[in-house]
Every structure is written in C-alpha cells, then in structure tokens.
A and B are shown apart, each in its own frame.
Chain A
Amino acid sequence: MHDKQVRRRRAVLGLLVAVSLILLTAYFGESPSSPLHAVQRGIVEVLSPVQEGASKALKPVRDIAGWFSDTFKAKSQVGKLRKEVQYYQGLAAQYENAYVRNQQLSRLVGLDGSLGVSAYHPVTAQVIQRDPTLWYAQIEVDKGADDGVHYDDPVIGDGGLVGRVSLVGPTFSEVTLITDHSMAVAAKVLDNVGDTGMLVPEVGDPSQLRVQYLPPRSAIATGDQVVTAGFTDGPLEDLYPAGILIGTVSSASQTQLLTSGTIKVTPAVDLRHLDVVQILTRPHGGTARAQVPGG
C-alpha cells in the first residue's frame, strides 16, 4: 500500500516536471503565431476583463499602500528636488530661447518642426496589470486592436518613453517596457554634438539603463538628456519617432567612454508606478513602416 503511494507520488511529480519542460521547450522554439502562443493570447483575452475588474476594485487598497510608500519616499526627496527646480528653471529659460531659434531654422530648411505627439494619433490607455518578476518588465493596458493599436507601436507616458506594444488583443495590449531584457532603442544624447548609441536595460535594476556603442571621445556629462534617435534609412524607419525623452545621464566617466563606449541613464518615467500611458498608433505621422513577420 505504502509502496503504491510512493510510486504514484513519484509518477505524478515526474509527469508534472515533464509537462513543464515540454511546454517550455515547445514555447521557446515557436514563433509568435504558433498554436501555443495563440492559446496564450486567447486565455489572456478571456482573463483580461476579470483582471480589469479586479484592478479597479482593488485600487483603494493599492492607493493606501502606495500613499505610505510615497510619503516616505517624498520626504527623502524634498531637498534634492528643490535644488533641481532651481537648476531647471534656469535651464528652461535657455531652452525657450533655443526653441524659438530652432523653429525659425526648421522652417528655413523645410522641416516640419510642428510634428508633436498629437500627430502620432496617441491612444490613452489605463494600466490594468504589471509584471511582478524582475525578468519580464511588462504591463498590460486596456486598449487593443479595436482602438487602433498595432504590434510594435511605441508607448509613452509621464513625459517619456515607456516601451513598445508586444502583444495585441481586441481589447487589451501587452507593453514591453524599456527595462525588459529584450529591448534595445536607438538613442541620442543631447550633448554638444548629439552622439547616438544603443539604449539597453541593465537587467535586475529597473532604475538604470545603458547607452552603448558611443564614440569614445564624446563630451557627455552627467545630467545630459537622452532621447530617441528615430533614424531613417531609405524606406526603413525606426520604431520610435525621434525626440522622445528617455531619461538623463546618471553616470558618464571618460574612462568608461574610452574603454566601453557606455554611459548610464536614469529613465525619465517611473516605470513601476505607471497608471496611464499613451500608445502612438501612427508613430511616423501616417507613413508606411517595416513590419515584423508573424507580429
């Protein structure tokens, strides 16, 4: 009797582990349009209204917990932020002047300098779920294909780049954040010459990003802003429009630049506390763009 129980227990354990390994192997090797992915999309679609309802119902609980957390955080930031306000007020006056000059020069060379975010047909969406693990930096929002959202659409929020749409359902979308290990964005540092590099996350540290492949003798300084580069090469265009703020340079030493061409960047957006985002459904002002097969 006891032996039978032991055998049964071991068989069930072996079966469960085997099924998990088979699922993992099959899923990992498949394309996004494969049956397993389709089943996953279907289940997410079914569960999405439940999660949306639960998210709304539990908002008061989140708010109370968030209030305590934010109060402690805010207290420690008051002094630092006051100094920053002074600094940015001075900077804002300089930029205002530069902006006016830039408008005039843009008109002179025939550029459409008036292309703001509204030209990209932004769709405002509410965050209904966040991923708790350190490895998958994703959020789910309540807008999908029915609202004009497409696969790979850029997502912004709170004044900066948030990520891109990585899965689209009729009424929901999954957004992969810029801190996810699968992300890479062409970025430009707003130093004197506008050096460009590749922005990648620093896995495990959601408050840090890195810009790689920068010229070794760049004159980048801490505090410089980093924006999307938005390159164009013939018919091909970057997924992200140019000029969207990504963050500010938090560490840039000459040694680091010379040896690895790398700087550290703090994201402009607090990606762990997003409630509302904007999906740019026409990131290139309505022009055609390259599509990823199976997307």
Chain B
Amino acid sequence: MSFRIELESLRLTGRLIALGFLAVVFQQACVSQVTVFGVSADLTPLVVMSVGLLAGSMAGAITGFGMGLLVDLVLVQTLGVSSLLYIPIGYWSGRLRELRDPSHGLVPLALGAAATAVAGIGMTVIQFLLGVDAPVSLVLLQQIFVTILVNTLLALPVYAFVRRVLRSALPQDPRRRRRRAYTTGGLSPLHRPSERLGPIPRA
C-alpha cells in the first residue's frame, strides 16, 4: 500500500517537474513572442494555478516556487521575485480546492484572472520597492489589465491541458476514487443495498 503511494507520489513529482520546465520553455520560445492586443500572454501563473487546483496546496506552492525560480533564471531577472509571487498563487489555489472543492467548470477562469492579477500587480509592487529610476506610465495599468483579460481567455485550455497531463498521477483524483470504489464493490452506500442492509424481513 505504502509502496503504491510512494510510486504515485514519484510519478506526480516527475510530471510536475517536466510540466514546469516545458511550460517555461514554451512560454519563452513561443508565447512571449506573440502579441495579442499589444501584450503577450503569460502562461506560467496559469500553470501554477492549475497545479494548485488539481494537486493541492503543497504541490501548488512547491511548483510555484520552482517555476518562479526557473523563470527568473532563464530571463536573468532578480532571483526570487517570481518565486515569491507564484508561491501564494499555487498555495491559495490548492487551499481553495482543499477547503471548498469547487466543482463549477468556470472556477479555473476566475482563478486564472486572479492569478494573473496577483502576478502582474505583485511584480509592479516589488519593482517599486526595489526602486525604479525611469518614469512610470499609466499605460502600465492598461497593459496589466489587458494581460489579465488575455490570460483569462487562456485559463480554461491551460487548465484542461494540465489536468490531462496530471490526471493519471493524481492520488486523489475524484473520478479515479469514484471508479475504484464502485468497481471494488460495496463502498458506495447506493451500491447493492440488499447486501449492505442484509435480508429484508417479510411480514
């Protein structure tokens, strides 16, 4: 039993590492070079949000840290800035899943917008704290807003892709849990009521 749990955990870790690495490379090599309404989409907060929502707060926070660090390394930015922003995105997406278990199909959409807003506004605040020498334009706000809109449109496809990649490695996937319960027999209260309740006494 514990061997199987360890194996599943290893499989999930491997997939998360591969997903994070490929997401950052794809973002830098392709997505960031295509502009929509004058801005580029940023898939990384969406991937972190999706991992948190699917795999829980711990996996979300650790993925956020790892992807943020990779983004900072690849882009030769100040190390730790993106990590600091992506950790809460992954963590709170995971907490939402653990506390509320939202089942509505549009939850990733709202969370994608929130994640992008946290990343965009958070980056602005950190840059101001670190010191900006040049004048700042109000167009910055407009750009952040448009990025949030573009990312919101991409949130559902990104979530669907991440779910497809992680689904078979998730230990608590509701579909698998439900399927296992019904196929092994007797775990569902609705399954074989006669066996559960015993013979029905007849008058």
Known: A40-B79, A58-B26. A17 touches B87 (CB 8 A): yes
- Residues in A with CB closer than 8 Å to B135 are 200, 202-203, 210
Q: Could you tell me if B137 and A21 are in contact, using CB atoms closer than 8 angstroms?
A: no
Size bracket, chain A contacts: 35 or more
- Residues in A with CB closer than 8 Å to B76 are 40-41, 44, 138, 166-167, 174
A234 to B190, alpha carbons, bound, how many Å? 91
Q: Could you tell me if A13 and B143 are in contact, using CB atoms closer than 8 angstroms?
A: no
Q: Could you tell me if B30 and A23 are in contact, using CB atoms closer than 8 angstroms?
A: no
Contact with A along B26-68 (1 / 0, CB 8 A): 1111111111100011100000000000000110011011001
Which one, B1-9, B107-115, B126-134, B175-183, is touching chain A? B126-134
Q: Is the interface of A mostly helix, strand, loop or mixed?
A: helix
A204 to B40, alpha carbons, bound, how many Å? 13
- Residues in B with CB closer than 8 Å to A61 are 30
Q: Could you tell me if B58 and A203 are in contact, using CB atoms closer than 8 angstroms?
A: no
Which one, A47-55, A88-96, A104-112, A247-255, is touching chain B? A47-55
Q: Could you tell me if A47 and B74 are in contact, using CB atoms closer than 8 angstroms?
A: yes
Q: Say if the beta carbon of B91 comes within 8 Å of chain A.
A: yes
- Residues in A with CB closer than 8 Å to B87 are 13, 16-17, 20
Query: A residues 180-198 with Cβ under 8 Å of B?
Result: 181-184
A-B contact count (CB 8 A): 167
Q: Say if the beta carbon of A213 comes within 8 Å of chain B.
A: no
Query: B residues 63-107 with Cβ under 8 Å of A?
Result: 64-65, 68-69, 73-81, 83-84, 87, 91
Q: CB < 8 Å: which of B40, B83, B141, B143 contacts A20?
A: B83
Query: A residues 185-235 with Cβ under 8 Å of B?
Result: 200-205, 208, 210
Q: Could you tell me if A27 and B33 are in contact, using CB atoms closer than 8 angstroms?
A: no
Residue of A at shortest CB range from B83?
A20
- Residues in A with CB closer than 8 Å to B33 are 62, 66, 130
Q: Say if the beta carbon of A147 comes within 8 Å of chain B.
A: no
Q: CB < 8 Å: which of A69, A135, A138 contacts B123?
A: A135
Q: Could you tell me if B123 and A43 are in contact, using CB atoms closer than 8 angstroms?
A: no
Q: CB < 8 Å: which of B74, B80, B124, B130 contacts A21?
A: B80
- Can you show 6 pairs from A to B with CB atoms below 8 A apart? A23-B83, A51-B25, A61-B30, A134-B140, A203-B134, A208-B139
Interface residues of B (CB under 8 A from A): 25-36, 40-42, 57-58, 61-62, 64-65, 68-69, 73-81, 83-84, 87, 91, 120, 123-124, 127, 130, 132-141, 143-144, 147
Other A-B contacts than A62-B30, A132-B42, 13 sampled, CB-CB below 8 A, are A12-B58, A25-B80, A43-B73, A44-B74, A50-B25, A57-B29, A69-B36, A130-B33, A135-B127, A166-B76, A174-B76, A205-B139, A272-B35
